[in-house]
Amino acid sequence: MKDKNSLIREIIRFAVIGVYGTAIDFVFELVITSFLHDWVEANAGMHVAAFFIAFLLSFLGMLFATPSTWALTGVWGFQNVEEKAEKEAKSWKGNLKYLGWQTAGLVGGALLHFLGYMICLEWSGWNINILSVDFSTLFKQDIGTFWAFTIVFAVKTIFTMVWNFITRKLFIYKAPKEAKAE
């Protein structure tokens, strides 16, 4: 049987935590997008406003999901960690480092969200505004809007999950160096 600290097991644990955080983030973003539906519709033609709306949605979703995923990552996600790195990860410096890498991933995710918005609304000819999902009328509106929102959300999430795993593994939860056999 493989060691519980293997890279594959860390990836699986991180993915489980990521799916949990993604579910929270998805529902939260869908509900917030619904509440902002009228405002989004009023600003649909202004692409700069759309970017900031996408960023705001990503930020609020991250803000809502991060506390639980941060705690789970520290306790369960990375178990093969240097003692020094584990202490540092739980310090103020470690928390700021975590937040900094999380924010960089957030910006990347928001850019992907905006790119998805532009593809769905302008560049593809589909004329689907993914920022106009309205949860209260979800089954009355064109279901294509919901699916376009969901696909763009999935692409954004895959990027941020990979980003978060790599940055946490390399810069926060460093594995101990193996002793060389001589």
The dihedral through the CA atoms of 81, 9, 151, 140 has a sign that is negative
- The domain ranges of the chain are 7-171
Decide: 161 and 112 in contact? Cβ < 8 Å.
no
Residue 179, pLDDT score: 45
Within 10 angstroms of residue 40's Cβ, the number of other Cβ atoms is 22
Task: Give 2-6 contacts, CB < 8 A, sequence gap 24+.
Answer: 3/80, 4/79, 5/79, 5/80, 5/175, 6/80
Residues 98-129 have pLDDT tens digits of 889 989 999 999 899 999 999 998 999 999 88
Q: How far apart are CA 40 and CA 29, in angstroms?
A: 13
The predicted model scores a pTM of: 0.82
